[in-house]
Chain A
Amino acid sequence: MIELLRQLARTPQGAAGLLILLLLAAACAFGPAIAPYGPEHIDFLGRFHPPGARHWFGADQLGRDVLSRLLTGARSTVPTALAATLAGTLLGAVIGTASAYLGGRWDEIIMRTIDAVMAIPGLLLALLVVNTLGKGEMNAAIAIAAAFAPGMARITRSVALVARRQDYVGAAIARGERGTWIVFREMLPNVVAPIVVETTIRVAFAVMLFATLSFLGLGAQPPASDWGLMVADARPFLHQAPWMIVAPGAAIALTAIGFNLLGDGLRDVLNPRDER
Chain B
Amino acid sequence: MSARWFARRCLFIGYTLLVVSLLVFAITQALPADAAVTLLGENATPAALAALRLKLGLNDPVWLQYWHWLSALLRGDFGISMRTGQPVGPMMFSALARSLLVAGLALALMLAVAVPLGLVAALRRGGPLDLAAGLISYLGVSLPEFVTGTVLLLLLADHLHWLPATGYVPLLRNPLDSLRHLVLPVLTVSLVMVAHVSRMVRSEMIDVLHSDYVRAARLKGLPARTVLFRHALRNALLPVITVVALDVGYLLGGIIVVEEIFAIPGIGRELIVAIEMRDLPAIQAGALIMAGTYAVANFLADIAYALLDRRIRYD
Contacts and interface: CB of A to CB of B under 8 A. Distances in A.
Indicate whether A and B interact. Answer: yes
A252 B206 CA distance: 30
B295 A119 contact: yes
Contacts of A37: none
The interface residues of chain A, by DSSP majority, are classed as helix
A150 to B, nearest CB: 10
Interface in A239-271: 239, 245, 249, 252-257, 260-261
B210 interface: yes
B141 interface: yes
Interface stretch (B48-56, B145-153, B180-188): B145-153
A129 B257 contact: no
Interface residues on A, range: 35 or more
A275 B150 contact: no
A121 interface: yes
Given A127-B275, A131-B31, A120 B139 contact: no
A116 B291 CA distance: 8
A112 B27 contact: no
B78 interface: no
A128 interface: yes
Given A119-B294, A121-B256, A212-B257, A112 B12 contact: yes
Contact of B143 (A117, A118, A238, A249): A249
Interface residues on B, range: 35 or more
Contacts of A216: 257, 260, 272
Interface in A101-155: 112-113, 115-124, 127-129, 131-132, 134
Contacts of B283: 128
A191 interface: no
Interface stretch (B18-26, B64-72, B83-91, B304-312): B18-26
Contacts of A120: 20, 23-24, 249, 287, 290-291, 294
A124 B256 contact: yes
Contacts of B24: 120, 128
A121 B249 contact: yes
B253 A121 contact: yes
B175 to A, nearest CB: 29
Contacts of A9: none
Interface in A196-242: 204, 208, 211-212, 215-216, 228, 231-232, 235, 238-239
Contacts of A175: none
Contact of B250 (A113, A122, A131, A256): A122
Contacts of A232: 146
Contact of A275 (B17, B23, B210, B287): B210
Contact of B20 (A119, A127, A252): A119
Contacts of B260: 216
Nearest to A255: B142
Given A127-B272, A129-B27, A117 B19 contact: yes
Listed from nearest, the 6 A-B pairs whose CB atoms lie closest are A256-B142, A121-B253, A123-B253, A116-B19, A119-B291, A116-B16
Given A119-B292, A127-B256, 14 more contacts: A112-B15, A115-B12, A116-B18, A117-B20, A117-B23, A118-B294, A119-B294, A120-B294, A122-B250, A124-B271, A128-B283, A129-B27, A132-B32, A231-B147
